[in-house]
Amino acid sequence: MKGCRVRVASKRFGDLQVLQGLDFQVSADNFFALVGPSGAGKSTLLNILSGLDLDFEGELSWVEGGPGKIGYLFQEPRLMPWLNVRENIELVMPDTVKDQAWIDHLLRMVELSDRADAFPRQLSGGMQRRVALARAMAIKPDVLLLDEPFASLDDPTAVGLRRLVLDLWRDQPGAVILVTHNLREAMELADQVLFLSRRPARIVHREVVIPSRIDPVVVRDSQYLTDCLMRRHPDILSGIAAVPEEA
């Protein structure tokens, strides 16, 4: 698995500076969460990480040569409505014939084996997201980007999908970067949470939830962890850390 050093000195849209002085290391097999006020530039950062946005000052340096494979779960599922579930996954695969067994495996993981021939519009919102997740995992990404994937889902569906993300990650390890505004969600899933300030966004606090992932199956009390964090940094969700820290 490849890691990546992310350095974004500055990113602007015209006169508006969105990101400033971001520098962090995405090591392989790490689960990151990025939390920040809305409009802070979280999605902009993901677009830079995914290679969609090349217009910024700074660089992404991959640890082991060449750029790593990126899996991206967008905010909306972004499935091709004219391709069925299986074809949507095949779309991103390098060799569609050879990889049928792998696709079958993924479909079993996301519990959609019996809907492989269905078109996206015949599926519920939660199912569509599971297909999109299977598609993102299909390329065995070095880095999996998740852009608020659980927003706009009802609670049981979101809980199921969160568990699925962890299952898939255990099944197919790599770095994960989850963007969310839901602090509890971040504390529940991530090893490390990076907190962003208001625009121009920089990292104001890095919370290490668990130093190393010995047994990822351990259930955390994410509510307790969240409460503790909020006591130490009452304004963290507005992008302000209690004690100024080095990012």
Binding site for another protein (CB under 8 A): 50-52, 69-72, 74, 76, 78, 80-84, 87, 91-92, 119-122, 135, 139
The CA distances from residue 24 to 46, 61, 79, 183, 202, in Å, are 13, 11, 31, 20, 11
| Closer CB to another protein, 67 or 216, in the complex | 67
**Smallest distance from the beta carbon of 152 to another protein, in angstroms?**
16
Tokens matching residue 81? 């409505």
**Smallest distance from the beta carbon of 242 to another protein, in angstroms?**
37
| Closer CB to another protein, 73 or 161, in the complex | 73
**Smallest distance from the beta carbon of 96 to another protein, in angstroms?**
9
**Smallest distance from the beta carbon of 86 to another protein, in angstroms?**
13
| Closer CB to another protein, 128 or 192, in the complex | 128
**Smallest distance from the beta carbon of 224 to another protein, in angstroms?**
36
| Closer CB to another protein, 135 or 202, in the complex | 135
| Closer CB to another protein, 144 or 225, in the complex | 144
168, amino acid identity: L
